[in-house]
Amino acid sequence: MEIRKPIPVADAVMHIMNHVKKLGAETIVLEQSIGRVLAEPIVARHSVPPFNRSPYDGFAIRAEDSKGASGDNRLEFTVIGEIGAGYVGERPVEKKEAYRIMTGAQIPTGADAVVMFEQTVETESGFTVRKPFETGENISFKGEDAAEGDVLIVEGTLIHAGTIALLATFGYAEVSVYQQPVVGVLSTGTELLEVTDELVPGKIRNSNGPMVKAQLTRAGVPFKEYGTTKDDLDACTKLVERALEETDALITTGGVSVGDYDYLPTIYERLGATVLFNKVAMRPGSVTTVAVLGDKFLFGLSGNPSACFTGFELFARPALLAMMGNRAPYLPHLKAYLAEDFTKPNPFTRFVRAVWKLTENGLAAAPAGFNKSNAVSSIARGNCLIVLPSGTRGYSAGDEVDLLLIGSEQGAKDWVL
Ligand SMILES: Nc1nc2c(c(=O)[nH]1)N[C@H]1C(S)=C(S)[C@@H](COP(=O)(O)OP(=O)(O)OC[C@H]3O[C@@H](n4cnc5c(N)ncnc54)[C@H](O)[C@@H]3O)O[C@H]1N2
Ligand code: MOO
Ligand SMILES: [Mg+2]
């Protein structure tokens, strides 16, 4: 039997990332751009705000007219009209005059300060103030948010709800984004039943397929469904061949270890694919195998649910995001303290499904229960991975550990572990 040589997790990640080819750009309508990656920077096409405007409901005045105002010396202004948001003043504000003005409305010519309603007492022809106002007081200035020509968001950034607001602000009805890879998902295993099937002896329901598809969806990557296949070498080879013709990457689950029915290694050989690695010094997911055929990726994720989940997040996700041009394809990395002892030795780097929580002592992380490679409950409970480096043991509550966040829309530019 072949003895596989485990490589460090960081090396495995780098082997994959070195093979990534960024896809081309395409132009799509703004409404469909959520979750895509900008193939152009967002440049301020005009100033924001585009004009000086009022941040309050109140009165637009000339600051100099309020000079000397006090509780004992209230100064009066005459209101010459009203400006609601969307309107402009008809004429300049002259001495001791004011426009009634609403939040968001353009400051009329001549005026250079805004008095909030709450700071006034109404009179028959206007209002009085009891304090002087400075030039520029309560004015939201043209360009204070963004100046025309500024590069506000760089190319390679994920478009999220806030990005959509910025694009809309500048009239980007269409936006240039990177194309998305099409990713096939195939679950292998003679033991696999459909979600709708009743359990029968020896069989289990396919949970990896639905999980991986959900992980892809969460990462903003479309998938093509190849269902499940029995552990049959010829049938499985044909399916993988077809899937590779139709996709940019194929994610398989199961069949990558050294068992009699673990056929993926043979299939890679038959296809003439180059195996980048077939053993990683990590747990779970040590058997994760990644191969390439031309520009196409074959992610051979483990059949064990926790290993499959982890393999996707660590290896498939950054590769697919980088194909989509995302400059921050890695899971965000934080430091936290362990909420409980973790005494097991870690011969390989261990990724513990865990739950993070902010406490008065800072960010805490606790293992999310039954944490073996074949665990499914802890992936449901967890919202992060605690990373315990290989060669360590005997962690105590309070020890500082590395944490990788799961499900975060924002990513990290570098792999830091
Ligand atoms: N002699 C050795 N045996 C094993 C080794 C080893 O190094 N030497 N590695 C172990 C490790 S670690 C893992 S992880 C597993 C990996 O196995 P495979 O990736 O080949 O996956 P399978 O054998 O197909 O299945 C493993 C396990 O997962 C269940 N499974 C498979 N697919 C699904 C699915 N879609 N949904 C839910 N559960 C699934 C399957 O029933 C098995 O229980 O190998 C160890 N063995
Ligand atoms: O590859 Mo297995 O998940 O290490 O436990
Ligand atoms: Mg196996």
Handedness of CA 412, 372, 16, 280 (dihedral sign): positive
Question: Is residue 67 included in any domain, yes or no?
Answer: yes
Query: 373 pLDDT band (50/70/90 cuts)?
Result: very high
The C-alpha atoms of residue 238 and residue 396 are separated, in whole angstroms, by 50
Domain contains 1 = no
pLDDT given at position 15: 98
Question: What CATH code is carried by the domain that includes residue 319?
Answer: 3.40.980.10
Q: What is the pLDDT of residue 2?
A: 78
Q: What is the pLDDT of residue 1?
A: 73
The verdict on residue 139 lying in a domain is no
From 118, 152, 178, the end of a domain falls on 178
Spatial CA neighbour of 132 closest among 68, 194, 84, 61: 68
| DSSP letter assigned to residue 345 | -
Q: Which ligand is nearest to the CA of 284?
A: 2
Pocket of ligand 1 (CB under 6 A): 187, 189, 191-192, 204, 206-209, 253-259, 262, 284, 286-287, 302-305, 307, 373-374
Rg (the chain; Cα; Å):
30
The answer to whether residues 87 and 191 belong to one domain is: no
Tokens standing for residue 400: 């500082």
What is the rounded average pLDDT for all residues in the chain? 97
Which of ligand 2's atoms lies nearest the C-alpha of 284? 3
Do 150 and 30 lie in a common domain? yes
CATH code where residue 346 lies: 2.40.340.10
Q: Give the Cβ contact number of residue 259 at 10 Å.
A: 11
Tens of pLDDT along 193-246? 999 999 999 999 999 999 999 999 999 999 999 999 999 999 999 999 999 999
| Residue 398 placed within a domain | yes
Span from the CA of 217 to the centroid of ligand 3 (angstroms): 26
Q: Which are the contacts of 324, defined by CB distance < 8 A and separation ≥ 6?
A: 23, 36, 37, 178, 179, 180, 181, 220, 221
- Confirm whether 365 is domain-assigned: yes
Q: Is residue 137 part of a domain?
A: no
| Pair 243, 306 in one domain | yes
**Distance from the alpha carbon of residue 391 to the mean position of ligand 2, in angstroms:** 17
d(C-alpha 321, C-alpha 336), whole Å: 26
Q: Can you tell me the distance from the alpha carbon of 221 to that of 35, in angstroms, rounded to the nearest whole number?
A: 9
Say how many Å lie between the CA of residue 263 and the centre of ligand 3. 9
Residue to probe by mutation, ligand 2, list 373, 374, 376, 378, most atoms within 8 Å of CB: 373
CATH number at residue 38: 3.90.105.10
List of residues 6+ apart from 193 with CB closer than 8 A: 199, 200, 203, 204, 205, 206
Do 232 and 319 have their domain in common? yes
Are 350 and 259 contained in the same domain?
A: no
Q: What is the number of domains present in the chain?
A: 4
Instruction: Judge if 44 and 153 occupy the same domain.
Output: yes
Best CA proximity match to 111, nearest among 93, 137, 85, 131: 93
H-assigned helices in 181-252: 208-219, 233-246
pLDDT at 64 over 90: yes
Pocket test for ligand 2, best of 279, 302, 344, 374 (most atoms within 8 A of CB): 302
b/e map of 372-384 (b: 16 or more CB within 10 Å)? ebebbebbeebeb
312 pLDDT band, cuts 50/70/90, is very high
* CA atoms of 239 and 229, how far apart (whole Å): 8
Convert the pLDDT of each residue in 239-291 to its tens digit. Answer: 999 999 999 999 999 999 999 999 999 999 999 999 999 999 999 999 999 99
Say whether both 31 and 15 belong to one domain.
Answer: no
Domain co-membership, 211 together with 225: yes
**Ligand 2 first shell, C-beta below 6 A:** 283-287, 302, 304, 307, 373
Question: Could you list the residue range(s) of the whole structural domain that residue 152 is in?
Answer: 26-48+144-178
Q: Are residues 220 and 357 in the same domain?
A: no
CA dist list (Å): 314 to 186, 336, 352, 375: 19, 19, 13, 18
* pTM score of the predicted model: 0.94
Pocket perturbation via mutation, ligand 2, pick of 256, 283, 289, 385 by most ligand atoms within 8 A of CB:
283
- In 3D space, the residue among 159, 113, 166 whose CA is nearest the CA of residue 140 turns out to be 113
Ligand 1 atom closest to the Cα of residue 256 is 20
Q: Which one of 267, 292, 323 terminates a domain?
A: 323
